[in-house]
Structure 1
Amino acid sequence: MAQPKTTATDQILSLNSIEVLYDSVLLAIKGVSIEVPRGGMVALLGSNGAGKSTTLKAISGLLKAERGKVSRGEICFDGKLIGNILPQDRVAMGICHVIEGRRVFEHMTPDENLEAAAPMSMSRQKVNSEKARIYEYFPRLAERKASQSGYLSGGEQQMLAIGRALMTQPRLLMLDEPSLGLAPFLVAEIFGIIQRINKEDGLSVLLVEQNALAALEIVSHGYLIENGRVVMHDSAEALKANSDIQEFYLGGGEGKNFHDIKHYSRRKRWLS
């Protein structure tokens, strides 16, 4: 296996003008550059099909299973270029990707799910202490730890998916649409726990979300991606105050959806 090449960086993660091809034909990501500071929380916002999930898969190395590849640009994690590193080795380096859809082992209990996610080299004592830490963050899971995971609610399954990720002791946690299909009070609870983990453990977080309002409440800054390109990057406060963001992503446009607006592309000032 090729050794990661070391580069100088103050970021835990940086993407430099990456492009992603599917089937060597379809260009899904077009020169995306983003940065996640150490211990920071960053949101990647955008509509369905904008390229958010593809960006995460490029970072975690999961593109190959979908006949995709990074055809151009650099991905740097903790000062090392990781473009040629296998997905499992990226996990060992500290990158954890919670895929959209709450992927848990439904026939197993939450406790068994957490144990299954622990690295093989982790001692029994460490496994138990990590489980206790996760149950402290997610008391709902502690209450249901002996239940079959397939019978957990959607919110509880999302908590379990995040808990499984934490068992790998990541340095960068990437979450793909954790709010999908959840009631607002559950979204607020889960995002509050993510924010707490970030503050208490110093865990870096890259959050992919369509729920821009919820995401911008907990991150320091964000990127807006459309049609495979980053079209805006600013602090969370600046993004929330931006009139275009308010209209098309935060519900400030009286319920309008940008897909329904005939002159949407022409009206967006950041594309002019």
Structure 2
Amino acid sequence: MPGLVLSNVEVIYDKVFLAIKGVSLEVGEGEMVALLGSNGAGKSTTLKAISGLLGPERGQVTRGEIRFGDTDLLALGAPARVAAGLVHVLEGRRVFGHLTPDENLVAAYRAGSGRRSFEDLREEVYDYFPRLRERGRSKAGYLSGGEQQMLAIGRALMTEPRLIMLDEPSLGLSPLLVQEIFGIISKINESHKLTVLLVEQNATATLEIVDRAYLIENGQIVMSGEAATLKENPDVQEFYLGGGEHTDYRAVKHYSRRKRWLA
């Protein structure tokens, strides 16, 4: 059963620039799906179209449909989408630097929602991220980059989401920290059957943990499939995984390397 469905979505900035062009994708309930692509391909714009955060950047969905279960998301503002069970962890972590980890979690908690208590949710976050418990009295602005990313994810979990969207969680982190954080994301997905949409440039690490992936280029979906299948694709290997067969292009006059799907 599809949890999130985008059908032929277009986004325009400043009523002029067409940023994404007919994007269609599905994320099933409890599934982990990645949206891969290079910088500027349209990954973050796609997430903001889903979460309702295009307005402050003068962007708008001008065509298509975005549904979450039976809900038409385009009819809702950003706060109502959070209430419907979506949460968006923005690129760059965006924690409240002047607050402690505990205070950041309090700020994200939806009091009066009639669901789990703050104490229960906080303990769960600290079980996933023990380092945050250890740094409980530090200001979040003084945490390391990895700890801030953990806090950003923990803060998102305080909303009790059904779908969590993560924008470049590996950005600026060491390979060991990326492995640790991706492992925790997988654990959260498995234990809660939480639906995950993961936007990343780090295709190598991402394809190790997701079920399926979409590849976006110049605002268009150009490839999709099971993670294992994409890892074996020679174009994906050459352009995104740093592998594949290589030619000595210095010996080829006037050669211009092209991705086959853009030919």
Under TM normalisation by the shorter chain, which class is it? over 0.9
The aligned length equals 257
Aligned pair in 2 of structure 1 residues 214, 147: CA closer, same or farther (>3 Å)?
same
Q: How does 1:20-169 map to 2 (within 5 A)?
A: 20-122=11-113, 126-169=117-160
CA deviation map 1:90-133 (0-9, x unaligned): 00000000000011111111011111110131579700010000
CA deviation map 1:159-218 (0-9, x unaligned): 000000000000000000000000000000000000000000010000000000111010
CA deviation map 1:15-49 (0-9, x unaligned): 00000001111100000001000000000000000
User: SS of the counterpart of 2:19?
Assistant: strand
CA distance in 1, matches of 2:116, 2:84: 22
CA contact 2:234–2:244 (8 Å) conserved in 1: no
User: SS of the counterpart of 2:60?
Assistant: strand
CA contact 2:91–2:168 (8 Å) conserved in 1: yes
CA distance in 1, matches of 2:246, 2:38: 15
User: SS of the counterpart of 1:76?
Assistant: strand
Select which of 163, 183, 194 maps to 1:172: 163
Aligned pair in 2 of structure 1 residues 161, 14: CA closer, same or farther (>3 Å)?
same
User: SS of the counterpart of 1:83?
Assistant: helix
4+ aligned runs moved over 4 Å, structure 1: 122-125, 253-256
TM-score calculated relative to the size of structure 2: 0.94
Give structure 1 stretches of 5+ with no counterpart: 1-9
The Cα shift of 1:84 comes to: 1.9
Amino acid at match of 1:68: G
Aligned pair in 2 of structure 1 residues 143, 124: CA closer, same or farther (>3 Å)?
farther
Aligned pair in 2 of structure 1 residues 222, 125: CA closer, same or farther (>3 Å)?
closer
CA distance in 2, matches of 1:255, 1:204: 37
Aligned pair in 2 of structure 1 residues 125, 223: CA closer, same or farther (>3 Å)?
closer
CA distance in 2, matches of 1:124, 1:253: 50
Instruction: Please say if 1:240 is aligned against 2:231.
Output: yes
* 1:5 alignment partner in structure 2: none
Amino acid at match of 1:167: M
Moved more, 59-68 or 115-124: 115-124
CA distance in 2, matches of 1:156, 1:79: 36
CA distance in 2, matches of 1:124, 1:142: 23
CA distance in 1, matches of 2:237, 2:3: 30
CA-atom RMSD in angstroms: 1.8
* 1:3 alignment partner in structure 2: none
Select which of 248, 256, 264 maps to 2:257: 264
Give structure 2 stretches of 5+ with no counterpart: 248-253
User: SS of the counterpart of 1:120?
Assistant: coil
* 2:202 alignment partner in structure 1: 211
CA distance in 2, matches of 1:76, 1:264: 38
TM-score calculated relative to the size of structure 1: 0.91
Moved more, 175-184 or 71-80: 71-80
Moved more, 138-147 or 24-33: 138-147
CA distance in 1, matches of 2:240, 2:95: 30
